[in-house]
Amino acid sequence: MKTEQTNNKKWVTFTYHSPLTRKVTNLFKNTGIGIAFRASNTIYQQLVQKTGNKNPSGIYEIKCNTCGMNYVGQSGRPITTRHKEHERYIKNNNPASAYAVHILNNRHEYGTTENTLQLIKPCRKSSKMNHWENMCIQIYRQYSKLIEEQQVNEPNPLFEYAKPPHTLRDRTQQDRRQSGTHDNNTDR
């Protein structure tokens, strides 16, 4: 609760949590105190991730060292923990993940966490995480950067208008430069 005084009228700010907040503030209606509300859950808070976590959860990619294709996944736990699980599946010849199947069936090499694991979108475990993962998988599929073993859900037409994650965008531009094809919009 924040208080501010202007023109002999005192203003108080309440954080709005539920309709009950309005009933409580109605008690101040005839007291000369102005009531203002502040939201406790803003769009900004939903879209911006707090920094500082060195090993966050979220949407990640693992790059195959041999072919350069990517696996996109999600984890509500630290992503390095999930990467270790993928490595264990490969070492034990266990086809429990699409990445392990890709490495085992194609006899490709996998790399260290530092060389192959990349965080795409930090987020907490929720239904939003599934949507972020589906969007990233669809975008990686559109750019032909997704391993074939990864299952793809039904394409969502809205995701076609989404910008690719900066990690994929940067790599795609680098691939174009190396192959000699340039896109005037991306090489500025």
What pairing do the DSSP bridges indicate for beta strands 9-16 and 2-6? antiparallel
> Global pTM?
0.64
Q: Note the pLDDT tens digit of each residue in 46-97.
A: 666 566 666 789 999 999 999 999 999 999 999 999 999 999 999 999 999 9
Residue 50 lies in a domain: no
Q: Are residues 23 and 103 in the same domain?
A: no
Q: Are residues 116 and 149 in the same domain?
A: yes
How far is 109 from 176, CA to CA, in rounded Å? 24
**Own/partner long-range contacts of 53-59 (Cβ < 8 Å, ≥24 apart):** 53/122, 55/79, 55/80, 56/119, 56/122, 57/122, 57/123, 57/124, 57/125, 58/119, 58/120, 58/121, 58/122, 58/123, 58/129, 58/132, 59/119, 59/120, 59/121, 59/123, 59/129, 59/132, 59/133, 59/136
Residue 150 lies in a domain: yes
Residue 45 lies in a domain: no
Can you tell me the mean pLDDT for 23-33? Answer: 80
Number of domains within the chain: 2
At 167 the pLDDT is: 64
Domain range for 18 is 2-40
- CATH classification of the domain holding 147: 3.40.1440.10
Q: Are residues 25 and 77 in the same domain?
A: no
Q: Are residues 26 and 116 in the same domain?
A: no
Q: Note the pLDDT tens digit of each residue in 143-169.
A: 899 999 998 878 888 777 777 676 666
At 147 the pLDDT is: 95
Residue 178 lies in a domain: no
